Amino acid sequence: MRPVARVPPFDRPATYEDLVALPDNLVAEIVCGELHASPRPRPAHAIAFTGLGGLLTPPFHFGRGGPGGWWILSEPELHLGADVLVPDLAGWRRARMPAPPETAYFSLAPDWVCEILSPSTAALDRSQKLGLYARAGVAHAWLVDPDARTLEVLQREDGGRWLILSTHAGHEVVRAIPFEAIELALTDLWVP
C-alpha cells in the first residue's frame, strides 16, 4: 500500500474545499493544516474494521445483547476546529448526542474513537491524530493493529494525555472500556 500522502496545497493551510476536490476513492483528512490522503485500506484492515463494528454495533448501538445507549458509526467525518478527521470507528453516548446532526459531518467530538492501523497510517494515527482527539475531549481511544494482532485501550487523562490502560493480543477474549459490558474475541478481528 502506498504511504499516506501529504497533498497540495503546500503553500498554505489546507481547506475543506481542497479536501472535497480529491477523488472519492481516497480517504482524506486535514490534520494540523495539512491535507493527507490515502487509498482505501487493504483486506486485513477491512476485516478488523468490519469485525469490530459487527461486534460493537448490536449491543451498544441497537441494545441487542448489551446496554445500548451509543451511536456507533463507521468512518464519520469529524470537524474538530480546523481539523477534519476520519476515524475508522467512533461512538457517541446518546446522552451527549441524542440524535445525529443534519450535516454530513460531526462537530461534537465522539466519546470513543478507534483507529485500525495500517503501515501507511500508523504514524499519523498514533502521533498527530491521537493528540487532536485528546484536545477535542475524546475520552477513549482504541488502536487496533491487524498485522501485530493487538488491541491497545487508551483513556484520556486530565491534562489531555493518553494513558494506555491495557494491550491485548492474539486470541484473547477481553472486556475493554468503554465497552466492558461485553466480551470481545480478538480472533474475530484477524485474518484467519
Mean pLDDT (the chain, rounded): 93
Q: Where are the domains of the chain?
A: 42-189
Contacts of 124 (CB under 8 A, 6+ apart): 4, 31, 36
Residue in the structure block whose three cell numbers are 476485516: 47
CB contact burial 115-133 (16+ within 10 A = b; e otherwise): bbbbebbbebbeebbbebb
pTM: predicted TM-score of the whole model, two decimal places: 0.92
The pLDDT score that the predictor gives to residue 2 is 47
The answer, yes or no, to whether residue 183 has pLDDT greater than 60, is yes
The answer, yes or no, to whether residue 49 has pLDDT greater than 80, is yes
Class of domain 42-189: alpha beta
CB contact burial 50-77 (16+ within 10 A = b; e otherwise): ebbbebbbebbbeeeebeeebbbbeebb
- Classify 65 in phi/psi space as left (phi over 0), alpha (psi -120 to 50) or beta: left
The answer, yes or no, to whether residue 129 has pLDDT greater than 70, is yes
What is the SS3 assignment for 123?
Answer: helix
Query: How large a percentage of the chain has pLDDT more than 90?
Result: 80
The Cα–Cα gap between 38 and 51 comes to: 22
- Contact criterion met (CB below 8 Å) for 155 and 163: yes
